[in-house]
Amino acid sequence: MQHLMGESWHALEVEPIIELFESDANDGLGPLSIKHREEFFGKNALKKKTQESKFKKFFMQFHNALIYILLVASLVTALLQEWVDSGVIFAVVIINVIIGYIQEVKAQEAIDSLKEMMTTEAVVIRDGMKIKISSVDLVPGDIVLLESGSKVPADIRLISAKDLKVDESMLTGESLPVLKKLSTFSQDVTINDRKNMTYSGTYVTYGRAKGIIVATAGQTELGKIAHLLENTTSMETPLTKKISSFSKILLYIILALAAFTFVVGILRENSAVETFMASVALAVGAIPEGLPAAVTITLAIGVSRMAKKNAIIRKLPVVETLGSVTTICSDKTGTLTQNKMSVTNIYCSDRLYELSGEGYEPKGEIFSNNEKVESVSGTLGELLEAGYLCNESYLVNNEGKYSINGDPTEGALIVSALKCGCEEHRLNSNYPRVDILPFESDRQYMATLNTDVQNGQNILFLKGSIERTLNICSYEAINGELKELDKAKIVKIAEEYASQGLRVLAIAKKVTEQDKIEDLLLKDGFVFMGLEAMMDPPRSEAIEAVKESLGAGIKIIMITGDHALTAFSISKMMSIVTSDAKVEDSVLTGSELFAMTDSELVEKVSHIRVFARVEPEQKLRIVDALQARGEIVAMTGDGVNDAPALKQADIGIAMGLCGTEVAKEAADMILSDDNFSSIIHAVREGRNVFDNLLKYIVWTLPTSIGEGLVILFAIIFGITLPILPVQILWINMSTAVLLGIMLVLEPREEHIMQRSPRNPKDPLLGNSMIIQMFIVGFYMLVSSYVMFNMALADGHNIDYARTIIVNLFAFIELFYLFSCKELQKSVFKTNIFNNYFLLLGALAMVLAQIVFTHTEMMNLMFKSEPLDMQTWAEVLVISFGVLFVVELKRVLEKVFKRAKV
């Protein structure tokens, strides 16, 4: 098949191309042919960018200011023949590098795994069947169906097209969608003018088409320039950038302080070696080296948890923004509701009907005035047949379990027809389809042109919204006769259905001599057949999620193309509006929105909870209006026209099941189950991610402050160092691994969704947290010097006294960790047993300190000594005191707040 590659497909007629690929325009490829092509051509995927090797990634861990400082310290101590100190420092460097490497690899794996979840699917015809498969499984010769919102999965020569427009900007730079044609073109025309081709990576913005794949993977036009488009998911977010910048500034300040202490030590005529080691101790103790890694790990854990709850993050900054969301604008159908349509009511020929049955099983009965209708015929039968024929979906019976392949609304129409005795085979054979006008949101209707074989005439069937359908109808069919259309009567009946939460579709038909659907045919002259009203029940989990959102200070706005009364009724069921709310105060329609100025909309949007009969393009205005009021907006969408609103929203959320590829590409987050409750899971997790980052920062920075002050104090005042550089290294390494990482695994706080959204403009650390960190830092400073001097005064040697301080610092960090589990709550009211990782880490930390203190090897390496039981008791009591210090600070804060009130 090598000869098939690189042809000028746009210059050839389509029939020879189909023959070249040994395919069939109607039936597609067969199983054996597909297998051979998969083996020959491989997967339809571009080669991944060569990632940084693990070897390089490991050695990049040495590219760190703290590591450089430690390596210099190790070298200097080696030159001074302090072999134990040099070996310990170098060992700590290696351990830090290994830990850093493992953390980075694990975090990157978590982010990379998201890419595998974001697969593109394509609709193909294989072996005569229309099926949906992953685009990576496509092969040359496959017959592909494209529709509005599709991402073109390969280079395709068009076989047929209906008003097809394709956005090729990413390939050609052309900003406007290109209208495609089927005619052949000169061999030497550029890509821009090859109107009978669609290319991999471009997007269908309008219409539909059928085509044959002529190139996949690296042979596509996109594949030839793929190296220019390579991108990776970055671990950077605004927050990580802020923290990275903060860490760099802090590093420079600490290095300046270290240099200052070295100069002071030399001026005081201290030993140059001891002064140098003291300066290293200051740098090692004060630099919060674990902070950037903790941030990355917390984000990675967050996105992994969200993915397990069906919220796939495409852009990492969203994780931070989720905690600040104040308004969620959600589609109704399929997101807030189950998207399982069932026709329950019918209006036809001046009569009202009810239809029984559940789900998609074609079993049920039809009633009128509480009497069973034994036989369906006349205009009612024609109405049901029209609903069946003006349809692109089909019913699937899998061993008695019924489902719909296609749109659930169309599925409901099929099932209602079958319940009432319509025969699929008879309808399909007696009314073959000639042409189709697919549904587009701007039209609000769909039409099919079918041939009535028995009467030898073409009939145009149409279904759509009440407003659009009635506008093109001239008559109403009543008991087989054409009567003057009473629009007011029909609108009143539709509104009655809508007030019950039913979605209402109008159905009409028109006899024509035309064999193609043209705009002129759709202007007028239709006969109104009747209404079919269907129920789409709210999701029970979405109802609970709405209540939780409102409790969290998040407003929910429903946006739908349905009738205002339908939307309002569903919004009441879901508590989006209160039970005593009025339609005129809570609902805004698309036509009303169109008539408003931007300033009027900004004013009105504050109390609107339902937008009905809204066109996708109007979603952008809604987002703009909300953002103008200072709202942080999350917006859901699934259609191609939703993309601008998804991009403009602070968080764009696309539907994974029914969403178009255009919407997914524009979104920041994808719901793999299309369920509103998954958004709330993500918001909950987003808040938890920020909480855990804040907890880690509030826990780790006091340690840096305390250790830094202890060293700085000693050098400036010429006092013996109460702790050595290698001992500080031990504390930092052991606490970061055994305590800090466990803190970022902290589960959500119980009342996390009972507080208002965080203002993104607020500083990361408020005054209260900054005060707390300095209080803890000073507590470490004072308690360490008191215990150090007491030990020396009691006759203990310097190593014994320093061992006390190492354990004091380690246990202050351990006890303070529990105080950071909930930053606004008393530690004595906190559930300390809800994080088993943290408890295990605390136990491991205790064991590590026992080993550090009471084993000969550690005594030799770190110049530590065993402590007696009385000293251990004193260390634990003073360390435990940090909890009371923090508690006192929190109590005083509450007292001052009450005094102000």
Dump strand ranges (E) for 60-120.
none
Active site residue 524: no
Q: How much is the pLDDT for 152? A: 92
CB–CB of 559/544 below 8 Å?
Answer: no
Dump strand ranges (E) for 135-262.
143-147, 155-167, 178-179, 197-198, 203-215
Q: Which residues contact 34 (CB under 8 A, 6 or more apart)?
A: 126, 139, 142
Residue among 142, 155, 331, 674 flagged as catalytic? 331
Q: Which residues contact 794 (CB under 8 A, 6 or more apart)?
A: none
DSSP state of 578: -
d(CA 901, CA 547): 30
The dihedral region occupied by 408, where left means phi > 0, alpha psi between -120 and 50, and beta the remainder, is: alpha
Beta bridge partners, 509, equal 461, 527
Within 10 A of 115 (CB to CB), how many other CB atoms are there?
A: 13
Q: How much is the pLDDT for 49? A: 57
d(CA 678, CA 672): 9
Beta bridge partners, 505, equal 532
Could you tell me the pTM of the whole model? 0.79
d(CA 855, CA 353): 87
Q: What share of the chain is helix, strand, coil (3-state, %, to 5)?
A: 50, 20, 30
Q: How much is the pLDDT for 277? A: 74
Q: State the number of CA atoms in the 13 A half-sphere of 612 facing the CB.
A: 23
Q: CA-based Rg of the chain, rounded to a whole angstrom? A: 35
Q: Which two tokens stand for residue 477?
A: 């069919």
Is the alpha carbon torsion for 837, 843, 846, 849 positive or negative? negative
Q: How much is the pLDDT for 232? A: 46
Q: Which residues contact 301 (CB under 8 A, 6 or more apart)?
A: 110, 689, 744, 745
Q: Which residues contact 618 (CB under 8 A, 6 or more apart)?
A: 590, 593, 594, 611
Dump strand ranges (E) for 466-609.
473-478, 481-484, 502-512, 526-535, 555-559, 587-589
CB–CB of 80/294 below 8 Å?
Answer: no
| Angle at CA of residue 229, ends 227 and 231, nearest 5° | 100
d(CA 139, CA 300): 35
Residue-by-residue DSSP string for 4-71: GTT--GGGS-HHHHHHHTT--TTT-B-HHHHHHHHHHH--S-PPPPPPPPHHHHHHHTT-SHHHHHHH
Tokens 């019976």, residue located = 397
Q: How much is the pLDDT for 4? A: 52
Binned average pLDDT, 10 residues per bin, the chain of 901 residues: 63 92 93 90 76 72 69 74 72 75 68 61 91 92 91 93 87 81 88 90 88 90 64 56 72 80 79 76 72 76 86 82 91 86 94 90 92 90 96 87 87 94 92 90 88 94 94 93 94 94 95 89 93 92 93 93 90 91 90 92 93 86 93 88 88 87 86 91 91 90 87 82 86 86 86 87 83 93 94 94 96 94 86 90 96 93 92 96 93 82 60
